[in-house]
Chains A and B, each alone.
Chain A
Amino acid sequence: MNEAKSSDPRTPEQIRRSRNRVLALSLAGFVVLVFLISIAKMS
Protein backbone atom coordinates (compact mmCIF):
# COMPACT_ATOMS: atom_id res chain seq x y z
CA MET A 1 0.00 0.00 0.00
CA ASN A 2 2.55 2.62 1.06
CA GLU A 3 5.77 3.28 2.93
CA ALA A 4 4.16 5.21 5.79
CA LYS A 5 1.76 2.40 6.63
CA SER A 6 4.19 -0.46 6.38
CA SER A 7 6.68 1.45 8.60
CA ASP A 8 4.06 1.75 11.38
CA PRO A 9 5.25 -0.71 14.07
CA ARG A 10 1.75 -1.15 15.54
CA THR A 11 -0.62 -3.95 14.58
CA PRO A 12 -4.02 -3.11 13.05
CA GLU A 13 -5.59 -4.15 16.34
CA GLN A 14 -3.47 -1.62 18.28
CA ILE A 15 -4.33 1.18 15.84
CA ARG A 16 -8.03 0.30 15.98
CA ARG A 17 -8.00 0.15 19.77
CA SER A 18 -6.27 3.52 20.02
CA ARG A 19 -8.75 5.08 17.60
CA ASN A 20 -11.75 3.55 19.39
CA ARG A 21 -10.48 4.89 22.72
CA VAL A 22 -10.38 8.41 21.27
CA LEU A 23 -13.83 7.91 19.74
CA ALA A 24 -15.25 6.71 23.08
CA LEU A 25 -13.74 9.71 24.89
CA SER A 26 -15.16 12.07 22.24
CA LEU A 27 -18.63 10.55 22.57
CA ALA A 28 -18.46 10.70 26.37
CA GLY A 29 -17.39 14.34 26.10
CA PHE A 30 -20.30 15.03 23.76
CA VAL A 31 -22.78 13.49 26.20
CA VAL A 32 -21.38 15.58 29.08
CA LEU A 33 -21.50 18.69 26.88
CA VAL A 34 -25.15 18.11 25.94
CA PHE A 35 -25.96 17.65 29.64
CA LEU A 36 -24.16 20.90 30.54
CA ILE A 37 -25.89 22.74 27.68
CA SER A 38 -29.27 21.53 28.99
CA ILE A 39 -28.43 22.81 32.49
CA ALA A 40 -27.19 26.13 31.08
CA LYS A 41 -30.33 26.55 28.97
CA MET A 42 -32.56 25.85 31.96
CA SER A 43 -30.78 28.32 34.19
Chain B
Amino acid sequence: MHEEHEELMELKHDPVPGYRPIFFVAITVGLVYMGVILFNTL
Protein backbone atom coordinates (compact mmCIF):
# COMPACT_ATOMS: atom_id res chain seq x y z
CA MET B 1 0.00 0.00 0.00
CA HIS B 2 1.14 3.55 -0.74
CA GLU B 3 2.71 5.25 2.25
CA GLU B 4 1.90 8.87 1.30
CA HIS B 5 -1.82 8.52 1.97
CA GLU B 6 -3.48 11.58 3.40
CA GLU B 7 -6.97 11.42 4.91
CA LEU B 8 -9.05 14.55 4.42
CA MET B 9 -11.47 15.99 6.93
CA GLU B 10 -13.42 17.54 4.09
CA LEU B 11 -13.45 16.82 0.37
CA LYS B 12 -14.10 20.28 -1.08
CA HIS B 13 -15.00 20.90 -4.70
CA ASP B 14 -13.36 24.17 -5.64
CA PRO B 15 -15.11 26.10 -8.41
CA VAL B 16 -13.49 26.35 -11.82
CA PRO B 17 -13.72 29.98 -13.00
CA GLY B 18 -16.48 30.61 -15.53
CA TYR B 19 -18.64 27.59 -14.74
CA ARG B 20 -20.96 29.16 -12.20
CA PRO B 21 -22.79 31.40 -14.73
CA ILE B 22 -23.04 28.42 -17.08
CA PHE B 23 -24.60 26.40 -14.28
CA PHE B 24 -27.21 29.04 -13.52
CA VAL B 25 -28.05 29.51 -17.21
CA ALA B 26 -28.45 25.73 -17.64
CA ILE B 27 -30.62 25.46 -14.53
CA THR B 28 -32.84 28.34 -15.63
CA VAL B 29 -33.29 26.90 -19.12
CA GLY B 30 -34.00 23.46 -17.63
CA LEU B 31 -36.59 24.79 -15.18
CA VAL B 32 -38.34 26.82 -17.86
CA TYR B 33 -38.37 23.75 -20.13
CA MET B 34 -39.80 21.58 -17.33
CA GLY B 35 -42.35 24.26 -16.49
CA VAL B 36 -43.56 24.45 -20.08
CA ILE B 37 -43.90 20.66 -20.24
CA LEU B 38 -45.76 20.57 -16.92
CA PHE B 39 -48.05 23.40 -18.02
CA ASN B 40 -48.84 21.66 -21.30
CA THR B 41 -49.71 18.38 -19.57
CA LEU B 42 -52.09 19.93 -17.03
Q: Do A and B bind each other?
A: no
What is the interface of chain A, defined by CB distance below 8 A to chain B? none
What is the interface of chain B, defined by CB distance below 8 A to chain A? none
